Structure 1
């Protein structure tokens, strides 16, 4: 396989500010790519775009990518690919990329297990009051054993409702089967494999919300799923049910969720993502005792992040060589 030319220019964009601090993500990415391609930051790429257009854009930490950005960095529209670190691509305007004929790839598969584990960590923390128990054990209040404090809820033999039964959702269902749970799911299309192997049952969103003891959101964030869970949906849930969101913050109406948690309309929530993210200081979700919060850590294991980094490297080099991308999503 031919090696890419070192003249291949790759714009590395990190976070909302489109910085160049890829080492904060994983230093191996820069180290490996610099052996084969020329890495440039946003300002350098933009200033020299007319004479040296960018060949590949590599995005990290939810950089907004659309026609305007592509035109600024590659006015001749010579861009070979947008390579995204992460499976979610809601920050990339896929319609505009298709219009421009620019392929987009992400890092699916390698993070499914880790993200499913995170969903279960939040689910179990909610069900068994782990955060509250930890705080209590560290406090001066814990001086004698008390039998009936911090009573939780069973997980085994309960009903889990998974909204979005793709790769990650299927891994969540696989774990639920080990807990002898009844598995309901809501999806754009049936997942026959999960039905056959895991006993999952496809239902409407309303029925899933009404019947589930644990509702786990794993769907992509799209115009159709933005605000998918709001006041009407929360009212359908059991008062003893928990909501776990590992999808994207905007899938849930934050104000509606706060109201439901404050009134105990639902038992609690485990949130790896929020809207906005991070939450402002003093936000009610930071203070409610029936919420478990995590700072968007779904795929954050050493193993998953190493695999994600390698996929980014492989996809960038494939684009530079002109060979097929490994994980094209659009």
Structure 2
């Protein structure tokens, strides 16, 4: 019987997922929940593959420290901004992600945040927790109707398109920006491609679905916010650093923006900033857009399929590097 191929992980895996992997492979995990600094390279000696999550920061130094035996990084999740892809390519490391399987749940979460932020559910919840039976009866505490407004989608990829499908049910006028606009997208989603500047100026609700890259870091900064309507609502389920949180907090405090709905934060994996989550006109979720039984199960099966394909065929199914 041939020896099991070796997989190393910087953090302990959920029991069910680890059990499935151990049935086929030798899995090396840290003794504690997360590997201590400098510890991972030692127990990864001899491993061919590394299992990564979005919370494992695999920067240039991390990749340089990997044993020569490592040839493949299997990441669970869509985003790969936690991995220095250029450093991986320089070492001829393959990298994979788990695309598409979370799309529906991400779009559902986006619509939930739109409703919660527009209708100021955060403030309503605060009032309900006081035991008051009725509240928000004065105009300064009222929310905004969602139906019939203009939705600006930044990033018309898989998730952006699913959001557009759901937005039809609210009779939203859809504008979008994407690197590859097309008449086909316009027809399929009754949408209109515009520049980012036009979108910021025209949209009542702005949703962010772009990957985190150098060009999208702080895409929404003070200058971008200045172009938005004071009544605008901004939603982010992409990556936290796409928004300059300092500029966002200033705008929400001053009334320059109406509300925000956020599932991702610039400080991750550290805690959410108190001066952000304590604002009454911010509706925060703790990065749970994909936290459903359906999405997480599909993500696990997809990363397993990538690992199997690498060991059996020499390359993962969802290769990004």
TM > 0.5 between the two? yes
Partner of 1:175: 166
Contact 1:66 1:97 (8 Å CA) reproduced: no
Residues 40 and 121 (structure 1), Cα distance of their counterparts in 2 relative to 1, 3 Å cut: same
Contact 1:107 1:327 (8 Å CA) reproduced: yes
Partner of 2:50: 57
Matches within 5 A, 1:1-330: 6-13=3-10, 19=11, 21-23=12-14, 27-41=15-29, 46-47=41-42, 52-75=45-68, 78-142=69-133, 150-277=141-268, 283-330=274-321
| Length, aligned pairs only | 314
Contact 1:249 1:277 (8 Å CA) reproduced: yes
Contact 2:209 2:237 (8 Å CA) reproduced: yes
Residues 143 and 213 (structure 1), Cα distance of their counterparts in 2 relative to 1, 3 Å cut: closer
2: CA distance, partners of 1:102 / 1:192: 38
Contact 2:55 2:269 (8 Å CA) reproduced: no
Residues 271 and 282 (structure 1), Cα distance of their counterparts in 2 relative to 1, 3 Å cut: closer
Q: Equivalent residue of 1:47, what SS?
A: helix
Shift of 1:5: 5.4
2: CA distance, partners of 1:206 / 1:144: 37
More displaced, 229-238 or 274-283? 274-283
Contact 2:8 2:43 (8 Å CA) reproduced: no
Shift of 1:154: 1.4
Contact 1:272 1:294 (8 Å CA) reproduced: yes
Shift of 1:48: 5.5
More displaced, 242-251 or 187-196? 187-196
Cα RMSD, aligned residues only: 2.3
Residues 81 and 138 (structure 1), Cα distance of their counterparts in 2 relative to 1, 3 Å cut: same
Contact 1:53 1:73 (8 Å CA) reproduced: no
TM-score in terms of structure 1 length: 0.88
TM-score in terms of structure 2 length: 0.90
Q: Please list the CA deviations of residues 216-255 of structure 1 after superposition, one character each: whole Å capped at 9, or x if unmatched.
A: 0111011110011111110111111101011111111111
- Name structure 2 gaps, 5 residues minimum: none
Contact 1:168 1:218 (8 Å CA) reproduced: yes
Q: Equivalent residue of 1:35, what SS?
A: helix
2: CA distance, partners of 1:89 / 1:5: 33
Residues 307 and 9 (structure 1), Cα distance of their counterparts in 2 relative to 1, 3 Å cut: same
Partner of 1:16: none
Q: Please list the CA deviations of residues 33-52 of structure 1 after superposition, one character each: whole Å capped at 9, or x if unmatched.
A: 10111111367763366xx5
2: CA distance, partners of 1:281 / 1:179: 31
